[in-house]
Amino acid sequence: MMEHMNNDLPVFTYPGRIELKNTVNVIKNILDVAQKDTKGILVSLQKCGSYAKDEEVDAFGKSMHELQESTKVDIALIDYSPALFERIKHISNTHAIKLLNSAEAARLFLNPKSLKEELKILLYEPDKVACGKIKKALEGSKYKLYVANDNQSYKNITQLEKIDITISQTMLTTKEMSKQSEGKHLKLSKELVSNLPLFIDTAVETLMTLTALDAQKSKHGIGHFKSTFDDTPLAALMKFSGPFTGTFFLIFPKSIACKTLAAMMGEEVDPEDTEALKDGVGEFCNIITGSIKNKLQGKDLFMTFELPQTYGNVKEIAKTLEEEEGIWIDMLLEKDPFYIFISQ
């Protein structure tokens, strides 16, 4: 029977040792509730122990594969013991079934939208081939990935960092790796992608010129539009069109907005004057995109930027952009963070 739901992933417990009658039982339970819009199905092997006959394991893997094909829903095995993992890991290749160790690890690959973006992930996988596949599958994510090569490095990392999810004894299928790559692929035009460095460099140069403060890029990556920050940010956006189209977002935490405006105007800014702060962030956005426009013209790319739209709280626009994917660019101004988001 289904034990529970784990963030839209139904979890079914395999009822005992891997053998035909138990396999038939769990398949029946899955078919009773499986729907094609389910993000994935987890089969917990916690009650299976460590012993299993090779022929029963092969039959189990084949049955799970056929079930996966008929329901069009990804199936992953979780909660297996280290000894059982060694007996079943080959079915990942022979039958395209994922072994994801834990429900939390499964969410990374089957329902990543249910997780916050900036997680600390520890990968401890001695199998170099499997480790390489996992690292490749997580490329482009905003997770902070730590890799432990042995027991000592595992201990060192866990003592120094608060790890959110540990990935170990995990086998991804070729299908799952392709799915992850597709999930992180954006339909951004080649022109926009090739000019992203120009957008970033121009933002840095413009802010340094206007404020005489040190600005730099921290990191960038693909991600959904987010609205959760330590400091309530203001935001300005400008849509652009021409040889390529998109939207440029400038997101300033209030403390950064006050600092940059004070530096530009040479006088203190009232942090409670939201309208003045909105106007200031909008003006920064306007000046930055104006500089970007001029540089693009030098490359014979003639763009039109609309007037900036400003918001006193980024949450005002987040609801309409929750599913929007784009390039997140984390920036620093005098070591304090602000953000640029560019979407198609």
Confidence of residue 7 (pLDDT cuts 50, 70, 90): low
- 93: pLDDT strictly greater than 50: yes
pLDDT in tens, 113-143: 788 777 899 999 888 888 888 888 887 677 8
Are residue 161 and residue 222 in the same domain, yes or no? Answer: no
CATH code at position 40 = 3.30.750.24
Are residue 179 and residue 197 in the same domain, yes or no? Answer: no
Confidence of residue 2 (pLDDT cuts 50, 70, 90): low
* Spatial CB neighbours of 134, under 8 Å, sequence gap ≥ 6: 123, 125, 167, 170, 172
At 322 the pLDDT is: 60
Are residue 176 and residue 212 in the same domain, yes or no? Answer: no
The domain tally of the chain equals 2
Residue (of 61, 2, 11) closest to 29 by Cα position: 2
Are residue 160 and residue 195 in the same domain, yes or no? Answer: no
Are residue 156 and residue 78 in the same domain, yes or no? Answer: yes
DSSP letter for each residue of 230-257: SS-EEEEEEEEESSS-EEEEEEEEHHHH
At 78 the pLDDT is: 94
Last residue of a domain, one of 183, 207, 228: 183
At 167 the pLDDT is: 93
Are residue 294 and residue 269 in the same domain, yes or no? Answer: yes
Domain encompassing residue 87? 2-183
Separation CA 112–CA 84 (nearest Å):
27
Last residue of a domain, one of 183, 216, 231: 183
Are residue 107 and residue 147 in the same domain, yes or no? Answer: yes
- 219: pLDDT strictly greater than 80: no
pLDDT in tens, 168-204: 999 887 544 434 444 444 556 667 877 888 998 999 9
Confidence of residue 306 (pLDDT cuts 50, 70, 90): very high
At 182 the pLDDT is: 42
Are residue 224 and residue 111 in the same domain, yes or no? Answer: no
Are residue 208 and residue 133 in the same domain, yes or no? Answer: no
Last residue of a domain, one of 150, 183, 216: 183
CATH code at position 197 = 3.40.1550.10
